[in-house]
Chain A
């Protein structure tokens, strides 16, 4: 049985996961530079060892209000296409090994922006993890309704 490793994290109480190989690192950071007139999903820019990284607010991408970037905020830094990009999340979870047979397509009742970002559902013990489409999740040009 094929299994995949997922890095998990929470946003607004929901557990999400991305495949481990797409993640460069996870870190908390407190200084963000807002970008006026940028798409709303851009939380800000921060300095990762001399590199300028855009932090994408996953809440906005999921159709929720912006997260206040105050104090230490967790970033899941994805390798991205050519340059790293960060997803701002609430809390970091564990890295889990998931068998493909625990996978199901997203439920039909799931709608709205979340539906576009999610490729499927993994049934974990006691809770569900939504697997994110990494490219969609960091696409800030998406019309967020």
Chain B
């Protein structure tokens, strides 16, 4: 009985695989109705299911599979043409088989899946096919006669073989037209009379069949055996365990190699090197077992697209590019549902009805493109349609209705930012709710799912041309190549995929420069924004000389990470960090270093984000797109404030927060104004004083301030009013003539002064850029 359980399990697994293949083949067959190869393949697959279900005494399943097989044989013999209706019927049959299999899996019994309706449908198809035969071509008519004796096959003289789980080879040969029924009959008769040769051999010996045809029939008869010979199924848990163990082995090897190198014993070193090589190969092998082409999860999509587009009366062509792109299977699993959702959504909402498309001057058939490719240590998966595109105005309007955005925010928002609102929970712009989408569940789930595996999802759309949904999936495999670096007294790990190059800063020929307080480096003539790792980690900030810049690439943007020392490259095993460290966001994980200590793996993208770099990247994108669009120059985002009669703009990415304080909370420390803020003493500087803009003191109980922070230090710039956030897209610009300003520009048709932020900060806190303790400042003040 236990054996049977195992056999059933194997049967289920194999049948599921077969069914997926049949699905794909059927959809393909619809496109290419004359492909005999496809029909034969489908036929063989369903035949296997039928045979095994008979052997396992799943009567209903056998009956259903038989019905499908009969219909298929008509198609194969050319008695009936392949039409969308027959494909639909066959797909329904496959679905029936699937439900029975699901029921078997769950309850060990076939359950009460309604197969009669399906069988009736199949029969109706077959009868219809016979009543109205296809435009009678001579060969088709000929073939129509051939299957007739087949229907009477059970009456042939050959006795049913004992192992009835396999279809007799003779039957297969006759069905495929490789042998004549009477030849098979006589060969069987010979066998009964005592001929010990196999049936195929008899036929071959007598020249009644072609060797190739017999081989094919044998394969059709026992596909199980041929698969079993070349592949085995392995439990995924076992692979996971193996992977973990290999991870540990890599660590042990690293430690051993290090120790052995120190001893200098030549024999030992050789053994260690050999161990190293074997470990690497083993590791590679294990990793490979976990990699699967993305085709694996794409294979179900043609069916999804077909069913959905038929149901909606749309014409959609599915194009797949890069299906051989490999991903770790656990990631593949996690991407499956979000991807399916995106595809359904694209068919439902992205691609228009045929008449709408024609009206828009496009072909009636829409194209849905799935694209997968490697990109800088990530795998990108795109779902692109050539539909109407996202309606940005509508999304904005909806976001306002749902209270996600304020109307006044909209004009200043980037188009992509507005589009990204569709990832908010409960957001749907679908005019009508269908059973597919439009219920406002989904996109947020897609986002959550992808983010939970450390990926990202974005959308871009061009009105009238289509929408591209893009999933960026990390290759977070358990072992990565990494660079170890020193910062302060600690060692950190940077994934090597992000590293473009290393630059040593000697302070003479290479040096760090500052642009309004922001460190930059001239890399081959272009300014590279820098992030000091010590500052980002809130540690003591070190010198600008004798340090290294790691040129890193993250989220499509380059930046330099300043570290004290770069040590070496190592393969490290990524260990997940406890959730209590997730909020910090700077660490991608931890690892055990060669010396046995724990090292933190830096999250390069979040370092970039933390340093306002992504904002820059978006700005650049925007610049690029607007340049491409109108040729108009576009610049940085500015916070426009009112100071007396003047308008003063502050680069937005230098601003940490906007606050309001009650006027009576301002206290005096020496000659300076300060305010207590989050347990700190925050020095204030009034821009009106700094810029000599003595106007009327604004009324009201509160003062508006712009808080600027770096590390643990903050200063507040007091303005009269926050006016707006604007883009410096103007070309009319003059350099500064006045102290405290870097220049003047026309923003929103008004002359606006650009604040010298560094100067203003120093006015508030002369020691801001030197690293004094807060309490020392107090003493001084």
A contacts, CB < 8 Å to B: 31, 33-39, 42, 44-47, 50-52, 54, 83, 85, 140-141
Contacts and interface: CB of A to CB of B under 8 A. Distances in A.
Interface in B552-588: 575, 577-578, 580-581, 583-584, 586-587
8 contacts: A33-B490, A35-B584, A37-B584, A42-B580, A45-B590, A47-B597, A50-B592, A140-B580
B581 A35 contact: yes
B596 A31 contact: yes
A52 B597 contact: no
Nearest to B590: A52
Nearest to B534: A36
Contacts of B632: none
A141 to B, nearest CB: 7
Interface string B479-492: 00000000000100
A46 B596 CA distance: 9
B586 A46 contact: no
B251 interface: yes
A85 B578 contact: yes
Nearest to B533: A36
B598 A45 contact: yes
Contact of A31 (B251, B587, B590, B597): B597
A52 to B, nearest CB: 5
B575 A51 contact: yes
B592 A47 contact: yes
Interface in B585-622: 586-587, 590-592, 596-600
B220 to A, nearest CB: 50
A45 B587 CA distance: 13
The 7 closest A-B pairs by CB, nearest first: A36-B537, A45-B598, A33-B598, A52-B590, A52-B575, A37-B584, A47-B592
A38 B600 CA distance: 12
Contacts of A44: 598
Residue from A34, A39, A42, A83 with most neighbouring chain B CB atoms (10 Å): A34
B581 A83 contact: no
Contacts of B248: 50
B732 to A, nearest CB: 43
Given A33-B599, A140-B580, A141-B583, 12 more contacts: A35-B587, A35-B600, A36-B586, A37-B538, A37-B584, A37-B586, A38-B580, A39-B580, A50-B592, A52-B590, A52-B592, A52-B598
Contact of B577 (A46, A52, A85): A52
A47 B586 CA distance: 20
A140 B600 CA distance: 19
A34 B492 CA distance: 11
Contacts of A47: 592, 596-598
A140 B580 CA distance: 7
A83 B251 contact: no
A13 B94 CA distance: 73
Contacts of B575: 51-52
B255 to A, nearest CB: 11
A52 B586 CA distance: 17
A145 to B, nearest CB: 11
B762 interface: no
Nearest to B596: A47
A33 to B, nearest CB: 4
A35 B488 CA distance: 12
A141 B538 contact: no
Nearest to B487: A36
B527 interface: no
Contacts of A54: 578, 580-581
A118 to B, nearest CB: 21
A107 to B, nearest CB: 30
B539 interface: yes
Residue from B537, B575, B580, B592 with most neighbouring chain A CB atoms (10 Å): B580
A51 to B, nearest CB: 7
A38 B584 contact: yes
B578 A83 contact: yes
Contact of A33 (B539, B584, B597): B597
Contacts of A52: 575, 577, 590-592, 598
A47 B600 CA distance: 12
A52 B590 CA distance: 7
A141 B584 CA distance: 12
A37 to B, nearest CB: 5
A83 B581 CA distance: 14
B580 A141 contact: yes
Contacts of B577: 52
A45 B589 CA distance: 12
